Amino acid sequence: MSRIRDKFLALERAGEQAFIAYIMAGDPDPSFTPVIARAIARHADIIELGIPFSDPVADGKTIEAASERALRAGMRPQNIFDIIVAIRTEMDVPIPIVVMSYYNTILQFGIERFIKKLAEVGGDGIIVPDLPVEEADELVRSAKESEIDTIFLVAPTTPEDRIAKICASSSGFVYLVSLLGVTGARGRISDSARTLIKDVDVVEKKQGISIPTAVGFGISKPEHVHEMVASGVNGVIVGSAIVELIAEHKDEPKEMISALEEFCRSLKEATRGSSSRKDAAAALPKRQ
């Protein structure tokens, strides 16, 4: 049974959409990441943990800087497992944890070994932004064997036939990239985000596929969250705005935690009161 699937079902019953919070593991220090995660989990529905990488091609300046800080602080890929254990050890509620990693990191560790270890420590899903779904058979197979959800990305330029393949290959949810380019907070949401939400919905219905969608890239304030929820998406992913708060207060841990809790509370509040795409959450496929 998937914790991510269960979370989307529970939120649907409550008339809410998912707030997925991204943080860079190891920023500002590996030992403090579990503290940050536990604070965010008071309001977030799912936590996404990024593994720092020296050449993060999908990320903008904010996430890239966080990756550099984490690497300077001694964060290494294998530390992600200890961090998840630390989060799980003191977490009252078993919040789903998704890991975002570039493919080279997983390859160096070994695909099957990485996935098995992720499952062993209590991880729930994996996002690999630079791995095309057409080349992901080994990852998907290993993930299914270990009951880890594989979350693939759909961009505004993705053609219909490829959207169908991505939705069919994904489990947990499908990550909708709201705009072309890299991650980063924006002042307004691109019109392409609303178009993409509709396009994916059309493809899912045409193909008989039911899987939740979550939109990310550029979502940075409660108004953005509310706007996306009203457009029919099942969840929103906020990363750069959270990482910016961490950077702003990196030398003030108490102030950081307070600011993060308040910001995440406001983002979660914006997901409440809308029950769009009920069929998608209600019809989530059971694991085979």
Q: What DSSP line would sit under 8-39, residue for residue?
A: HHHHHHHTB-EEEEEEETTSS-GGGHHHHHHH
Q: Distance from CA of residue 253 to its chain's centroid?
A: 24
For 77-82, the CB contacts below 8 A with 24+ separation are: 77/51, 77/101, 77/105, 77/108, 77/109, 78/109, 79/25, 79/26, 79/30, 80/25, 80/49, 80/51, 81/117, 81/118, 81/120, 81/121, 82/30, 82/121
User: 53 lies in a domain?
Assistant: yes
User: 212 lies in a domain?
Assistant: yes
- How many independent structural domains does the chain possess? 1
The per-residue pLDDT for range 161-215, each reduced to its tens digit, is 999 999 999 999 999 998 754 444 445 676 888 999 999 999 999 999 999 999 9
Q: Give yes or no: 279 in active site.
A: no
Kindly list the distances between the CA atom of residue 40 and the CA atoms of 12, 91, 94, 133, 260, in Å, as whole numbers in the listed order: 21, 11, 13, 30, 7
Of 12, 16, 45, 59, the catalytic one is 59
Summarize the confidence of residues 7-34 as an average pLDDT: 97
> Distance between CA 84 and CA 122 in Å, rounded?
7
CATH number at residue 181: 3.20.20.70
The per-residue pLDDT for range 88-103, each reduced to its tens digit, is 997 766 899 999 999 9
User: 218 lies in a domain?
Assistant: yes
Q: Which of 187, 206, 202 is nearest to 154 (CA)?
A: 202
- Does the bond joining 129 to the residue before it have cis omega, within 30 degrees of 0? no
Confidence check: pLDDT of 115 > 60: yes
User: 241 lies in a domain?
Assistant: yes
Q: Give yes or no: 252 in active site.
A: no
The per-residue pLDDT for range 229-268, each reduced to its tens digit, is 999 999 999 999 999 999 999 999 999 999 999 999 999 9
User: 226 lies in a domain?
Assistant: yes
Question: Which amino acid would we find at residue 134?
Answer: E
User: 288 lies in a domain?
Assistant: no
Of 45, 48, 64, 244, the catalytic one is 48
User: 287 lies in a domain?
Assistant: no
User: 34 lies in a domain?
Assistant: yes
Confidence check: pLDDT of 123 > 90: yes
Domain that holds residue 187: 3-282
